A = this chain, B = another copy of it.
Amino acid sequence: MNRRVYFDYSATTPMKKEVLEEMLPFFNTDFGNPSSIHSYGRQGKTALDIARDKVAKTLNAKSEEIFFTGGGSEADNWAIKGAAFASRSKGNHIITTKIEHHAVLHTCEYLEKEGFEVTYLDVDQYGLIDMDDLKNAIKENTILITIMYANNEIGTIQPIKEIAHLAKEKNIIFHTDAVQAYGNEIIDVHELGVDLLSISAHKVYGPKGVGALYIRKGLRIHPLIHGGAQEKRRRAGTENIPGIVGFGKAAELAYENMEGHINKMETMRNRLIKEIMETIPYTKLNGHPTKRLPGNVNISFEFIEGESLLLSLDMVGIAASSGSACTSGSLDPSHVLMAIGLSHEIAHGSLRLTVGDFNTEEDVDYVIEKLPPIVDRLRQMSPLYEK
């Protein structure tokens, strides 16, 4: 195992060199607390403002609509709990989908225990919601719709603009978890018409533990973290200046070359899908053929189980991911793969390869070379194969 290739960019990304360089001074030179009025503090404040402008620009939002958080999960929790509790006098019904990230799903489940009612929309075999289902789910007391922009497992992209339009028409707050879409799609919050949108730095070559919530100007939601006057009194806690500066830089870089990035990802993605599907029998592509993230490959291999596939790939230096529950010791395979109608057996044999900026065509070649014998070896061991 000399070669190491990383195909798990949807799990997390390495930070770009330029991002780290931009962060370094803020760890121990310009380290002040932005709430302080002395020069150290003002340096921090200036850096914070610049980073906020950068992130705002990538979403075509106003700077004062961007609120930094400790990650994508916090942004999701804040958006959903904050909107739900702030609108409780108007109703208690929330609509989401069955394929959301756990940060959304478990938050909704928590709210059910707190007296809210939640509708979990089905998706079709590609992972798309049906707009009519959504329309029918809306009730008098619906206060919030939260539907992810792009799915983290199968990459399917929802019709966000249509959903936002419908929500606005019905006067319902609309949140979208754009953690996976951000940096891989042009996102214009005003054109889309969303009210709340979550993003996370570590998915776009920025630091871990930093995210942001876009809150449309004028919208009021409850804080999730109360305390100091940071983030216009809406999210307390001494700002993670190096992290936020890194996020700003990562955002800027991502949007500088969005088109090139998307093209490169799509080329690698398409080749992976094509070659794997052609050379290995008994496979199935999960997710939508075209409405999918530029870097997402998700394929099920019949008769084998995901963890043993991942371990075998890891032994030859390939880092990938799977929707098999056996990686986590829990009973059911991924709720997303179940929701698109896969049988348990097949869902257990899924492989997610997500490509990113540091991948090369040689990496793709390497996977295409190494994967078939590994799948074959595991199938030879499987009591289900040739049955």
Contacts and interface: CB of A to CB of B under 8 A. Distances in A.
Interface of A: 4, 6, 8, 11-17, 20, 27-29, 31-33, 35-41, 69-74, 76-77, 101-107, 109-110, 200, 202, 207-210, 222-229, 236-243, 307, 310-311, 313-314, 317-321, 327-328
A28 B17 CA distance: 8
Contact of A77 (B4, B15, B41, B226): B226
A209 B70 CA distance: 7
- Residue among A12, A16, A106, A207 with max Cβ neighbours from chain B (10 Å): A12
A370 to B, nearest CB: 14
14 contacts: A14-B27, A15-B31, A27-B207, A37-B311, A38-B313, A38-B318, A70-B240, A71-B240, A77-B227, A77-B236, A101-B227, A103-B237, A208-B241, A209-B238
A319 B36 contact: yes
Nearest to A110: B226
Given A106-B227, A225-B77, A228-B103, A238 B28 contact: no
A35 B11 contact: yes
A365 to B, nearest CB: 19
Contacts of A222: 110
Contacts of A73: 225-228, 236-238
A38 B8 contact: yes
- Residue among A36, A107, A224 with max Cβ neighbours from chain B (10 Å): A36
Given A15-B31, A73-B226, A105-B227, 5 more contacts: A20-B27, A70-B209, A71-B240, A103-B236, A109-B226
- Residue among A104, A107, A210, A243 with max Cβ neighbours from chain B (10 Å): A243
Contacts of A242: 207-208
A162 to B, nearest CB: 27
A228 B103 CA distance: 6
A226 B107 contact: yes
Given A28-B17, A227-B73, A229-B328, A38 B320 contact: yes
B28 A106 contact: no
A103 B226 contact: yes
Contacts of A229: 102, 328
A35 to B, nearest CB: 7
